[in-house]
Chain A
Amino acid sequence: MNCTRLQQVLDAHIDGELDRATTGEITAHLTECASCAALREQRSALRQALRAHAPYFKAPAALAPTIQRSLDRAMAESAAKLQSSATGRNAGLSWLHATALASVAALAGLIAGYWLAQPLPDYPLRDPAVASHVAALAPTRQLIQVASSDRHTVKPWFQGKIDFAPPVKDLAGDGYVLIGGRLDQVADKPAAAVVYQVRKHVINLFVWRATDKAPNSPAADPTANSNTDVTAAIATASVRGFSVTTWAAGGLRFAAVSDVDGRDLTRFAQLVSAP
């Protein structure tokens, strides 16, 4: 390899785009040619400067909702064209909701029959939690009432809206990204829904007070429910295609529901419940 040839392929070499044989020739040349080696140093410095200083323009926060609306419109138009009975149902569809909706759509017809066919699982509120999850992802519903990835924003939002403080954790480092929260119900009990996302799958973490054994106790008095302050281990089940992980601790009941793999949800539960 001579200097002219090397200078032609130096960038491709630095980019790791050359085959092993050529790479070998280049390495050999660079060890014995000071001027080519200096050139390589310059290029490496340039790359360093680029990687360190070239701004990466991330999509502004407002862009995703705007795109969501245009896709909604496009879908509504195509739905109108199809004249299907589902016309309009898709109009409010949000792409944030979309991943789980695939399973919802596929399962919608099966739910009624399956519900009757299956005996209730051992944990009484597993099915209602799934029902709340499905309902929350419906196009007409609002999945998130407080949108934030900051737990110090989401947690205080529940104050005054619900009579307990649901744990809200920053688990982004583990791939579970907090996206917000909303008020919901699980089997007619007021519940906090803390919403996370993992690889674009929505996880609804429902938290409600364990009042099931003391339904008449004053809601504002946490001590009245001490008899329900049991700790139940994390258990994951599959209900109608969704993964449901339930546990109980500190007078609160927890149910995490998502269409992710059960193992992902179990890990999520372990992270949430970790002290």
Chain B
Amino acid sequence: MSDASKLSRFEAVVLVHLDAAYNLARWLTRDAAGADDAVQDACLRAFRFFDNLHGPSPKAWFMTIVRNASLDWLKVQRASRAEESYDEDLHTAGAAESVEAAAARDSDAHWVRVGIAALPREYREVLVLRELEELSYKEISAIVDVPIGTVMSRLSRGRDLLQQRLLQSRERKRS
């Protein structure tokens, strides 16, 4: 395959999923710059191994690489500083804040965002892949590299945790 036709196929088959890649990386790293780095790294890796791409879902293949790149980014971060707990103010500061920002802090939208971000990674990733990317259990199982049964139980557990949090926030609003 010539370089030009490889790049052209890469663009059509892989880079069309750039938004999905960024979304996953962003939720995994919980950091805008981290997501940039991870996606860029993933694209290079994917391009290098593009010739080996076989199988029914290029998107799942690419997302696997994006996930690995994101986890690698997290590893590097952890190596450079002690692991810190998720700081919602720090990490949501970049998101669009409106004049209603103060009111929005108590809204469902706020709690959904913070709720997902605060989930342990193994629940967060399956939830993002299912609810935002609408991938099948089979694809998620391939990306996260766990059996389908595990995808199912992680999704359930993740939703349990999220539901508790959402209910708590609504109770708080009422009181």
Contact = CB atoms under 8 A, between A and B. Distances in A.
Contacts of B84: none
Nearest to A46: B163
The interface residues of chain B, by DSSP majority, are classed as helix
B121 interface: no
Interface string A49-84: 111111111111001101100110011001100000
A74 B44 contact: yes
A106 B11 CA distance: 17
A74 B35 CA distance: 21
Interface in B1-59: 2-5, 7-12, 15-16, 18-19, 21-23, 26-27, 32, 35-36, 39-40, 43-44, 47-48
B159 A46 contact: yes
Contact of B137 (A12, A51, A93, A95): A12
B108 interface: yes
B69 interface: no
Interface residues of A, number: 47
Given A17-B137, A57-B26, A12 B152 contact: yes
Interface string B126-165: 0100111000110000000000000010011001001100
Contacts of A155: none
B166 interface: yes
- Centre residue among B7, B36, B95, B137 by max chain A CB count within 10 A: B7
A29 interface: no
B78 interface: no
A3 B32 CA distance: 43
A11 B152 contact: yes
The interface residues of chain A, by DSSP majority, are classed as helix
B16 A58 contact: no
Given A15-B137, A95-B11, A64 B18 contact: yes
Contact of B15 (A70, A78, A95, A106): A95
Contacts of A200: 11-12, 16
A90 interface: yes
Contacts of A42: 163
Contacts of A102: 4-5, 8-9
A237 interface: no
B74 interface: no
A70 B136 CA distance: 31
B5 A57 contact: no
Nearest to A7: B156
7 contacts: A55-B95, A64-B18, A93-B4, A95-B7, A102-B4, A104-B4, A105-B5
A-B interface, 4 closest residue pairs, ranked by CB to CB distance from nearest: A59-B22, A102-B8, A57-B26, A53-B112
Interface of B: 2-5, 7-12, 15-16, 18-19, 21-23, 26-27, 32, 35-36, 39-40, 43-44, 47-48, 95, 107-109, 112-113, 116, 127, 130-132, 136-137, 152, 155-156, 159, 162-163, 166
Given A58-B23, A93-B7, A200-B11, 13 more contacts: A8-B156, A11-B152, A17-B152, A46-B163, A52-B108, A56-B132, A58-B19, A64-B15, A74-B47, A93-B4, A98-B4, A102-B4, A102-B9
